[in-house]
């Protein structure tokens, strides 16, 4: 749990790696004042990419540091170095696919639940006739940045899944989360930052173009600019490679959000990138 822009942001504790990534990234967004740049501007894309790159670089250098007391200082120094022009692009990060889904629910009383579920790609085995497919997390390299077969037996397996609850200063509450394997840790902070804007539109917060930085590659969506990638010119100077998407892509997850406004109004947005669906259920009768 942490506080960002006056909003309480709650994410899962260990063994979730994703929750810690979300808070560290939001801290870096605040440090370099991402939200003060116009949304969709080259300057904002550059600052966003720099913060994501700082987290990636620090993790690649020391996989366990994000859980340490030195993490915030190390991340801040790394971000400052990147913004000053120092090259910090790791090319050895693990890349992993995934098969993850998310469900967000709120009710009129302000109760909220965010649940992210995954079996990775599955290991091809079901439990009896239950229909439950076993996961393959022991084979997902993104969860073992130090390498396979290096954790003691019995150690809980880490995960990037980071279902998130926001408690706004005005009394509103939001539940959100996404699938997307290692993109989870970069996508959620970008959407949360937009939601922290008091004038935020829920639909645009989900639909806006996203970035991802990993293994010295900047990935970004250009559809909002008609496929023109020049708004990302400043961001791609931070890495050696880039990959652009001229339409919303499932690569960048599927952020599904449910919100209760301070006046009790319920609202939700499901991300079309992964075929999301939103339903508002009203109680009928006594």
Q: 128-182: per-residue pLDDT in tens?
A: 999 888 888 887 776 776 778 887 888 888 888 899 999 999 999 999 999 888 8
- Specify whether 100 is catalytic: yes
* C-alpha to C-alpha distance for 283 and 286, rounded to whole angstroms: 8
- Arithmetic mean of pLDDT over the chain: 88
Over residues 80-97, the mean pLDDT reads 73
pLDDT above 60 for 92: no
pTM of this structure: 0.89
In the prediction, which pLDDT does 99 show? 67
Report the pLDDT value the prediction gives residue 69, as an integer from 0 to 100: 83
pLDDT above 70 covers a percentage of the chain that reads: 94
DSSP letter for 286, please. Answer: -
Neighbours of 286 (CB within 10 A): 3
- Cis, bond preceding 15 (omega within 30 deg of 0): yes
Is residue 186 predicted with pLDDT exceeding 60?
Answer: yes
H or E element at residue 164: strand 164-167
Q: Which two tokens stand for residue 119?
A: 């079996």
Please tell me the distance from the alpha carbon of residue 181 to that of residue 166, in angstroms, as a whole number: 21
For residue 175, what are the β-bridge partners?
165, 258
CATH assignment, 2-274: 3.60.20.40
pLDDT for the residue 91: 60
Q: Which of 78, 100, 116, 193 is catalytic?
A: 100
Max CA distance (Å), the chain: 65
Averaged over 272-283, what is the pLDDT?
88
267 versus 199: the higher-pLDDT residue is 267
């Amino acid at each position: 749990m942490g506080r960002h822009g006056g909003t309480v942001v709650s994410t899962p504790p260990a063994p979730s790696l994703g929750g810690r990534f979300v808070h560290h990234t939001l801290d870096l967004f605040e440090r370099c004042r991402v939200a003060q740049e116009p949304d969709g501007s080259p300057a904002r894309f550059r600052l966003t990419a720099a913060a994501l790159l700082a987290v990636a670089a620090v993790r690649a250098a020391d996989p366990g540091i994000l859980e340490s007391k030195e993490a915030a200082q190390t991340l801040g120094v790394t971000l400052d170095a990147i913004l000053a022009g120092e090259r910090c692009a790791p090319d050895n990060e693990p890349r992993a696919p995934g098969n993850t889904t998310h469900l967000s629910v709120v009710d009129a009383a302000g109760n909220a639940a965010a649940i992210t579920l995954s079996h990775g790609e599955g290991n091809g085995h079901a439990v009896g006739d239950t229909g439950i497919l076993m996961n393959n997390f022991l084979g997902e390299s993104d969860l073992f940045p130090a390498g396979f077969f290096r954790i003691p037996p019995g150690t809980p397996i880490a995960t990037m899944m980071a279902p998130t609850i926001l408690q706004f200063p005005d009394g509103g509450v939001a539940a959100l989360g996404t699938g997307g394997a290692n993109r989870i840790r970069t996508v959620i902070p970008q959407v949360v930052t937009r939601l922290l804007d008091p004038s935020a539109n829920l639909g645009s917060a989900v639909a806006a173009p996203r970035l991802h930085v990993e293994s010295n590659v900047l990935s970004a969506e250009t559809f909002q600019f008609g496929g023109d990638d020049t708004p990302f010119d400043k961001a791609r100077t931070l890495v050696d490679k880039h990959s652009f998407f001229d339409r919303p892509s499932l690569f960048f997850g599927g952020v599904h959000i449910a919100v209760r406004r301070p006046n009790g109004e319920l609202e939700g947005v499901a991300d079309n990138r992964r075929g999301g669906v939103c339903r508002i259920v009203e109680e009928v009768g006594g």
